[in-house]
Amino acid sequence: MQKEHKKITKLTHKSMFRLSSNATLVLKIFIPTFWTVFFGMLVLAIFISDHEDILLLNNPYVKYGSLAFFVCFFTLFYFTIMTLKRVDIDQNNIYISNYFKTYRYPFKDILRTKEIDFALFTVLKTELKNKGSLGKKFTYILNKASFNHYLSKYPENAKYFTGDLNKQ
């Protein structure tokens, strides 16, 4: 009985394809966390430390400039890389995860997909017809090798990842 369960798990795992890049976890969780802790503590130290030894830190432009730097970059991280999602797909569904919860949506719920090609990576933005539990739009860095392998296995699903589905 236990061997049958392992076979089912392996079959289910083999039918799933991860569309998002491995870099998503590092970009979404680790870099913002380390950056926030390091620069947050630095800004805190600038504000609460005794500045008699370092005259530069007595300047209010340095204090508030460091705070503005911290807030600006945290906002930039929050609205860009922290919005990245992990995306997996199988033959009929797309699975969107924020690394805490995963939600399944059938392909028929996809409204459009937009591809943005940067020099080093490709970003896909997928929009659902209706708002889901994690929002209506999902951004993820595409793992091209896995995506091409998926399309070679299920070419009929390519239409869900090529633009606006309302036109079809």
Q: What is the pLDDT of residue 4?
A: 38
Give the separation between CA 12 and CA 153, rounded to whole angstroms. Answer: 15
The pLDDT value recorded for residue 3 is: 41
Residues of the chain with pLDDT under 70: 1-14, 51-55, 163-168
Question: What is the predicted pLDDT for the residue at 162?
Answer: 76
Burial (Cβ within 10 Å: 0-12, 13-18, ≥19) of residue 98: middle
| pTM attached to this predicted model | 0.77
Instruction: Report the pLDDT value the prediction gives residue 139, as an integer from 0 to 100.
Output: 94
pLDDT at 62: 85
At 59 the pLDDT is 78
Q: Which long-range contacts (CB under 8 A, 24 or more apart) does 163-167 make?
A: 163/112, 163/113, 163/114, 164/111, 164/112, 165/110, 165/111, 165/112, 166/111, 166/112
Q: Do the Cβ atoms of 54 and 27 come closer than 8 Å?
A: no
